[in-house]
Chains A and B, each alone.
Chain A
Amino acid sequence: MTGNESVNKFLLEAKNITKKFGEFTANDQVSIGLVAGEIHALLGENGAGKSTLVKMMYGALQPTSGDLYWNGEKVVVNNPAAARKLGVGMVFQHFSLFESLSVIENISLAIAEEADLALLAEKISRVSREYGLPLEPHAIVADLSVGERQRIEIVRCLLQEPKLLIMDEPTAVLTPQEADQLFVTLRKLAGEGVAILYISHRLEEVRQLCHDATILRMGKVVDNVDPQEETAQSLAQLMVGTAIHKIESVSDKQFGKILLRTRSLSLESDMQFGVDLMDINLEVKAGEVLAIAGIAGNGQGELFDALSGEMRVSKPDIIELNGVACGTRGIRFRRNCEAAFAPEERLGHGAVPSFRLSENVVLTRHNSDKNLVNFGFMDHKLVRAIADRVAKKRDVRTSKADPEASSLSGGNLQKFIVGRELDRKPKVLIVNQPTWGVDAGAAAMIRQALINCAARGAAVLVISQDLDEIFEVADSIAVISRGQLSDIYTANEMTYEKVGLLMAGAHEKPTKHVGNLQDNMAGRT
């Protein structure tokens, strides 16, 4: 009834949306307009309020104040079903698929109206052909790669012929080649008049793909720009608000002796959907940063656990840290070999959420640091001094003295965890996804710290799925896929394309698994 003022320029318009969670304001007077046929980027750091905003568009959350307009008319989107009815489709970052069901069964579960599976299979084939999303309707989801699973979600959305498609960090789990493929699909959809809201923090791809970009910082819209007229650097600055530390690497490197070595490391995972490690051989020398790339869920967690000693292998000399064969020894022994570890999961693995920072210092250093524990009692003063020293050195911002780990933001906690280990001056440092979910400012600091650690003479192993990060920090690069490690290449002989092919499994030896990804890669060219 209020459609008169705003001419139907926008398909969906959010006006002055505010969303509060208790005291915390996640979205503050946010306004954004999406135009049919345009790909609109929503940029912002973690915690800037991107997800909150799109959840309100998709009906999963209700705004505290402010309104949504669909084709100029005010709407209340009570729930996702209502959003779908309007014509809003969303592809989430984390897929909600049943692993043991087939593609078609998964899709039919989402689309209640379609009872006839044969008809649905036909529709799926048609849509996937039309938009270049190869999909075998009868394949079982558990056998599919992450990229293929994402296609199921996209096809599921497209079957409902959405007018607006929301994509939440779609390329986070894709190889560069798979991402390119996705862009083709999105451009085609936009060409047909679909509005696309594209959430990402990968600035290069936003510049390539999007027509318009809205930037959120701390819940507020800070700017609305044409990404094609910006540089990645200027976009990053808008997101963060300040200039970002430029990574400096040491020139003219000299590597020392081998400090980290595995000899045909194989390990069966004890998790239900875990990945078995197969015949992994690697060497990292003093002063060297070896980065291991790979899409999430290809054995990175298992490799980290095997190196840290949380999972043990059958023979001591399979893993050598600082010259000591310790494959059968636990994590305490390995820390005493001057190795340090920082896992992917910060809360609940790298730190106990309800423990104070000082207590979390004790967590990993009670055995390797002398004097920290005397006759079974810990030295609270010393522990506190270490926590304060780490917090100061790594610029860990806290709201009070010695807070609980769970009260820190992801970036601050990660700075603390990495700092806690670096403070030991380790000879071997192994980190898994060091900047996953961390804001750009903190990420730059952590990467610089890793480089400096190697420059001081440590062997550093970085496991990461962020290719930008890998090329920033690495002296040598290897890729892990389905538990197998590629050969190790020096950083300057590697390119994004080469890494992408390895991520897709180009180096894999034949195994019992079905090589879906390779087939698809071949089929596309």
Chain B
Amino acid sequence: MKITLEKRAMASNFMTYASPIIAIGLTVVIGGIIFLLAGYNPLNALYYYFVDPVMSLWSIEEVVVKATPLVLIGAGLAICFSANIWNIGAEGQLTMGALAGAFIPVMFTDWQSPIGLVLMLLMGVGGGAAWAAIAAFLKNRFNVNEILTSLMLVYVAQYILDWFVRGPWRDPKGFNFPKSVDFEGWQLLPTYGDGRMHIGAIIAVIVVVILAIMMSRSMKGFEIKAIGNSRRAGAFAGFSYKSMTWFCFLLSGALAGLAGIIEVAGPAGHLQPTISPGYGFTAIIVAFLGRLNPIGVLMAGVLLAISYLGGDGAQMELGVSAKTAQVFQGMLLFLILACDTLIRYKIKFSVSQKSTEGALV
């Protein structure tokens, strides 16, 4: 028997938006089955994953803190993917943004000024964009596949950060721990509530609004969608694919870098070898779950943040590894891509071609 995918005549508009909901539902069901097989009460486990994180003010604040980098990066990636340009290396751009922004508190430890904070954020933006520019340059100049280069540069960036915090930037008073000096005062983002929620969340919402307007109304958004839908038609319109590659990488790199510096100048408060639990990769899921739409990304970012928190909660309450959160995230991406595929194609089973003859009936 042969299984083939056949393109549907018309993809349902309704299903395009229903797809992420179906995918989330399936993830919950399959997740429950996995818990059941592992010997846990599935309802109990799912409660800790998806409900408990939003049941107290403290944990809601924590969701916002975790959603901030996801939304910032996811929004940039959504633009990239809309143009059919594949920046997979946001994690590396986040790392380089954090490193570049940390230059100020590490080198000018005593400088206390709001200008310093703004400069930190700008350097974070610059660091992320510069790291992304490498992949864009290689693609435009040598036609190197950007998926590979951007991904490989993640590991390069992480080793550079590692070298800095173990070497030149190590905190002299840090008992030899691999971390930088602790940031203080105007080297940290202003906070609200209990003290973990910071101004970064507001920046993320502003970025989402700007990008949403850009995509829905501006000529730039039109250009992105035109090239993403049909590169040839985009060229016919006079839009340059190379410029678009630069634009998308610089934008998504800048936002990833911003997320990086916000993370270290916010919750972390210093550099350390690991500054992100894979936000740059999870943001890819956020972008797709949000239908490559900035507003959708905002909602998807919150959902994925809950799953991070739920992972921690389940570890404490049930004793399962916090890594199960990644299982959920992986399942979610897989299922949403599967749903999208089945919306556009239908599966066709056909009987083996060989055995049938042109027989007279």
Contacts and interface: CB of A to CB of B under 8 A. Distances in A.
Contacts of B222: 359, 362, 366, 378
Interface stretch (A37-45, A73-81, A138-146): A73-81
A349 B236 CA distance: 6
Given A310-B236, A349-B233, A351-B233, A82 B9 contact: no
A396 to B, nearest CB: 18
B229 A331 contact: no
Most chain B beta carbons < 10 A, residue from A81, A345, A377: A377
Nearest to A308: B236
Nearest to A24: B9
Interface stretch (B108-116, B212-220, B249-257): B212-220
Given A352-B226, A362-B222, A377-B217, A1 B233 contact: no
Given A359-B222, A378-B217, A76 B9 contact: no
Interface string A62-87: 00000000100111111101110110
A331 B361 contact: no
Contacts of B353: 78-79, 81
A284 to B, nearest CB: 21
B323 interface: no
A19 interface: no
B193 interface: no
Nearest to A331: B238
B56 interface: no
A332 B238 CA distance: 5
Contact of A310 (B9, B217, B235): B235
Contact of B233 (A79, A341, A352): A352
Contacts of A24: 9
B359 interface: yes
Contacts of A427: none
A70 B353 CA distance: 21
Contacts of A348: 230, 232-233
Most chain B beta carbons < 10 A, residue from A86, A349, A363: A363
Interface in B199-246: 217-220, 222, 225-226, 229-230, 232-238
B360 interface: yes
Given A349-B232, A364-B236, A22 B9 contact: yes
Contacts of B238: 330-332, 335, 367
Nearest to A309: B238
Contact of B237 (A76, A81, A363, A376): A363
B194 interface: no
A514 B361 CA distance: 51
Interface residues of B, number: 24
A357 to B, nearest CB: 14
Contact of B229 (A1, A70, A83, A354): A354
Nearest to A378: B219
B356 interface: yes
Contacts of B226: 352, 355, 363
Given A1-B361, A76-B359, A350 B229 contact: no
B195 interface: no
A70 B359 CA distance: 11
A85 B357 contact: yes
Contacts of A74: 360-361
Contacts of A75: 358-361
Interface in A303-350: 308, 310, 330-332, 335, 341, 343, 345, 347-350
A373 interface: yes
A515 interface: no
Contact of B358 (A1, A82, A330, A335): A82
Contacts of A349: 230, 232-233, 236
A353 B231 CA distance: 12
Given A21-B9, A22-B9, A362-B222, A78 B358 contact: yes
A24 B8 CA distance: 12
Contacts, number: 93
B142 to A, nearest CB: 16
Nearest to A366: B219
Given A22-B9, A348-B230, A353-B230, A363 B236 contact: yes
Nearest to B350: A79
B218 A376 contact: yes
A373 B229 contact: no
B236 A355 contact: no
B7 to A, nearest CB: 11
Nearest to B236: A349
Nearest to B227: A352
Contacts of B359: 75-76, 82
A523 B155 CA distance: 66
B219 A377 contact: yes
A59 interface: yes
B236 A76 contact: no
Contacts of B236: 308, 310, 331, 341, 343, 349-350, 363-364
Contacts of B361: 1, 74-76
Given A76-B359, A76-B361, A376 B233 contact: no
A79 B356 contact: yes
A341 B238 CA distance: 12
Contacts of A70: 360
Most chain A beta carbons < 10 A, residue from B218, B229, B236, B357: B236
Contacts of B357: 78, 82, 85
Most chain A beta carbons < 10 A, residue from B217, B230, B238: B238
A73 B358 contact: no
B143 to A, nearest CB: 12
Contacts of B234: 352
Contacts of B219: 362, 366, 373, 376-378
A366 B230 contact: no
B237 A366 contact: yes
A78 B218 contact: no
B358 A85 contact: yes
Interface string B336-361: 00000000000000000100111111
B235 A78 contact: no
Nearest to A406: B10
Most chain A beta carbons < 10 A, residue from B218, B226, B234: B226
A59 B236 CA distance: 40
Interface of A: 1, 21-22, 24, 59, 70, 73-79, 81-83, 85-86, 308, 310, 330-332, 335, 341, 343, 345, 347-355, 359, 362-364, 366-367, 373, 376-378
Interface of B: 9, 217-220, 222, 225-226, 229-230, 232-238, 353, 356-361
Given A81-B358, A308-B236, A331-B238, 4 more contacts: A21-B9, A78-B356, A349-B232, A362-B219
| Top 3 A-B pairs, shortest CB-CB distance | A82-B358, A332-B238, A78-B356
16 contacts: A21-B9, A22-B9, A24-B9, A70-B360, A75-B361, A76-B359, A352-B225, A352-B226, A352-B229, A353-B230, A363-B236, A366-B222, A366-B237, A367-B238, A373-B219, A376-B220
